[in-house]
Structure 1
Amino acid sequence: MVHAQGSVGHSPAPPPGAPPASPTACRARHHALRSFSWHRGDPGDPAELLAGFLADNGLPVRNLGRSDDKYGTIGHGTICGASLYVSADAGSVMNHATPGGPSPVPAIPDVYAVVWIHTTAAMPGSTPDWELGSWAASWTPDEHARAVQSVRDAIGRGDVYQVNVVGHASAPYVGNPTAALARVAGLPGARYGGILAGDGWAMATASPETLVEVRDGRVITRPIKGTRPATADGRRELLASAKERAEHVMIVDLERNDLARLPGTGPVRVEELFAVRRWCDLWQAESVVSAEISSDVGLADLLRAVCPGGSVTGAPKLAALAHIAALEPVGRGVSMGALGWIGPDHLDLGLSIRTVAVDGERVHAWAGGGITADSDPAAEVAEAAAKAGPLRAALASAVSART
């Protein structure tokens, strides 16, 4: 059934693995009841349309701070929650900001939600046949470096303080991508490791970063900024880097501002600053920023406040988005958006970094980093490659790549 605003369907294709951030007790019991999708260019406010769809399915999106266990039985199962995906472009639309270029994966909606019920039926099996071709980037290392320098020039003019620059690459494939996507979702440090799929497409995330979590009366974000190799020297370098710390603190301030403008929350505080965490073979710096919920907090307002995520846009956010749209040769697709879960008593959305997508013909991956006045273009190109490396290795694991 297609509406004038948004699209609602029944029984979408099941994912080839557990949805990101889904409760452990629910895994291997998911059955898709109905779904919602919205593409850039569709009419209507995607935040309101999404909230309306989820509210109509009994999820407590009008007051996210309220614990609600009033889930009834529908058909042959019980609603356990919903998967949510919001692209970076959809986040820009929600905030009347400049969207990026066309997505290289246009089959994937910019907003997608699936309502899940519990079932005892076994998930379908898959075959391991998978052959991956050669990667092709949407820009060369020199073009990437020139984009970094362009941001540095803009900072020098006072246009922005920081801009996150992201590159894209894709490779052809044949066969069943299920096992390869599962390897991506299982990478070490993947707090939001999981897979979400629709008609003719799937995405897998190994994201370690919390865009926003609502739980136990608090709204929480955990921005990540600052990267070094996961060695003893790398950890010392990260902790000692004035450039990385300044970049990180700038984004923490941006996230504090995002939460402060969210209706229904109390004072914002930084619970932890510049803590070093590990993702695969990289150290990354993470902070924890939170606000107490003082009155009703709705999903639409929450998405407008935090999307697109500050750590993958820059500061000021709207000015950074305009530079991103001008510099990046293709859209961010499924990357740099929000991906996670809403249940009866919490919401947990990861930032869709370290995320790949397949569309039936090609697999797509994105990686980048935050640019400041002190950024070295060659080092930024190398950092993006280091972030993409584990994804490519997971996708190619146990196969002979085509040349």
Structure 2
Amino acid sequence: MKPVVCFYQDDVFIYSQNYNLFRCPPEKSISDFLNEIEHSFKTDLKVVQVNFEYENQELFKHQKNLYPSDKCSVFILTQHEMLSTDKLLEKLRSHQSESAFEPPLLKSLESQADYERKVHFIKEQIAQGRLYQVNLTAPLAGSTTANGADIFSLYQNRFSAPYAALLPLAEYDLISFSPELFLKKTGTKLKTQPIKGSASLEDPSAKDLITSKKEEAELSMIVDLLRNDFNRIEEDHSAKVTSHRALLKLKYIQHTYSEIEIETSKGLAEILEATAPGGSISGCPKIESLNLIAELEPYRRQAYTGCLGWWAHNSFCLNLSIRSFMKYQDQLFYHSGGGIVYDSSPEKEWQEFLLKTGSLTTHE
């Protein structure tokens, strides 16, 4: 069987070649599906994946699918190992292609002119009072002979993503190198860490990431949105911001992030009902942002900006599936984007779009 790989904590990964894959039927709600899984496999270690569209299938039905996918999938791990990064990469060597491969050449399916035109349109909508912020994205595509283990091994060596995973889903492989924590529940403590703002590590003006009023406003709006999402989970509205605008440095880029926490005994299905799709990859207000995303983006995001991670008993840890590859047959897809606010510069937003793909893809 193809291996399942999922981040666990620090430098430890879950690795399994013995599992059963359950797929959510189109006619069943994700909540019902997850509740059934929890009832049947409560004590088993599981790896779960949920698409961005969540239960908003009708809203996005006119968009094109890039590849076939289920709205939610769960791997029930019958056996697994906990491996360090080095041990994991050793294990994956036996699953890699025999012949060497070049990093895939990916091309944006949207032109710079079209992307900048959409940024202008969003700014107009914000000026008219329709919303405050929206996350705009676009896909890139190319072809490759590499398999999922090849791609994971190549890019995991290039940078250390805290929430990396390799999932052999029913129709495609999902290879995620996400830096962003969507939801983590340990005991009764639930937290989220939204990311906003990007700067190259080599850019001498990167310090502007902390001093920028635009970046501060962008993250603060999402923090308020996610705090409200968390307060929908518990009636006492006890969500609190425990950290605001800390710096996250990766090997090729840096971001600012915040942390919100709440105490809750609720399970995964109920928590996702209140929080999915994630606020940092939709916008503010969330419902109107989703409406605008449906208007502007011609392709479904599917796994991109959905979530994935491990789940056991009543604890779980899910990433926001950004910086992720989707491999379907010999096609490879990737997405990039960013949060658009009133004072966003269309040209700078396109440069951020490219920056977020720079360490992962080669551009024509």
Superposed pair shares fold, TM > 0.5: yes
Correspondence for 2:8: 21
- State yes or no: 1:224 paired with 2:195: yes
Counterpart code for 1:227: S
Q: Distance in 2 between matches of 1:119 and 1:315?
A: 40
Cα deviation per residue 1:330-384 (whole Å; 9 max; x = unaligned)? 1112110111110236200000011111011211000100000000001001101
Q: Alpha-carbon deviations, 1:98-156, whole Å to 9, x = none?
A: 567232122x3221110102258x87533243356542322101101011111101001
Name 1:85's counterpart in structure 2.
49
Structure 2 letter corresponding to 1:21: Y
Aligned length: 353
Q: What is the CA distance between 1:191 and its match in structure 2?
A: 1.2
Instruction: Please name the residue that 1:127 is paired with.
Output: 97
1:24 Cα deviation (Å)? 6.7
**What is the match of residue 104 of structure 1?**
66
SS in 2 for 1:83: strand
Residue 382 of structure 1 aligns to a residue whose secondary structure is helix
Aligned to 1:33: 19
Secondary structure of the structure 2 residue equivalent to 1:390 = coil
Percent identity, please. Answer: 24
* Counterpart pick for 1:201 among 151, 169, 172: 172
CA contact (8 A) 1:213 1:348 kept: yes
The answer as to whether partners of 2:136 and 2:339 remain within 8 angstroms in 1 is: yes
CA distance in 2, matches of 1:189, 1:99: 36
Q: Which moved more, 1:176-185 or 1:212-221?
A: 176-185
Say whether 1:113 aligns with 2:100: no
Residues 127 and 330 of structure 1: is their aligned pair in 2 closer, same or farther, counting only changes over 3 Å?
Answer: same
CA contact (8 A) 2:30 2:72 kept: yes
Deviation at 1:234, TM superposition (A): 3.8
SS of the residue aligned with 2:67? coil
Task: Give the whole-Å Cα distance in 2 for the aligned partners of 1:321 and 1:162.
Answer: 11
Cα deviation digits, residues 34-92 of structure 1 (max 9, x gap): 222136xx1121222122123211x2xxxxxxxxxxx4xxxxxxx4x111110101253
Secondary structure of the residue aligned to 1:88 is coil
**Distance verdict in 2 for CA 1:374–1:23, change over 3 Å:** closer
Structure 1 residue 187, shift from structure 2 partner: 4.8
- Give the one of 176, 179, 185 matched to 1:214: 185
1:305 has 2:305 as partner: no
**Equivalence for 2:293:** 324
Instruction: After TM superposition, list the pairs within 5 Å mapping 1:4-403 onto structure 2.
Output: 13-15=1-3, 18-21=5-8, 27-28=14-15, 30-38=16-24, 42-57=26-41, 59=42, 71=43, 79=44, 81-93=45-57, 101-106=63-68, 108-118=69-79, 125-129=95-99, 130=101, 134-231=105-202, 233-263=204-234, 267-293=238-264, 296-344=265-313, 346-392=315-361
Residue 26 of structure 1 deviates from its aligned partner by 6.9
Give the Cα separation in 1 of the matches to 2:98 and 2:354: 27
2-structure distance, mates of 1:250, 1:83: 31
Contact preservation (8 Å) 1:21, 1:194: no
Unaligned runs of 5+ in 1: 1-12, 60-70, 72-78, 397-402
Change over 3 Å in CA distance of 1:100–1:117 after alignment to 2: farther
Structure 1 position 215, deviation (Å) = 0.9
Instruction: Please name the residue that 2:86 is paired with.
Output: none
Structure 2 spans left out of the alignment, 5+ residues: 82-90
TM-score using structure 2 length: 0.89
SS at match of 2:96: coil
Q: Deviations over 1:224-272 (max 9, x none)?
A: 0011111473441101100000011000000100100014776111000
Evaluate the alpha carbon distance shift between residue 223 and residue 100 of structure 1 in structure 2; reply closer, same or farther with a 3 A threshold.
farther
CA RMSD of aligned residues (A): 2.5
Amino acid at match of 1:204: I
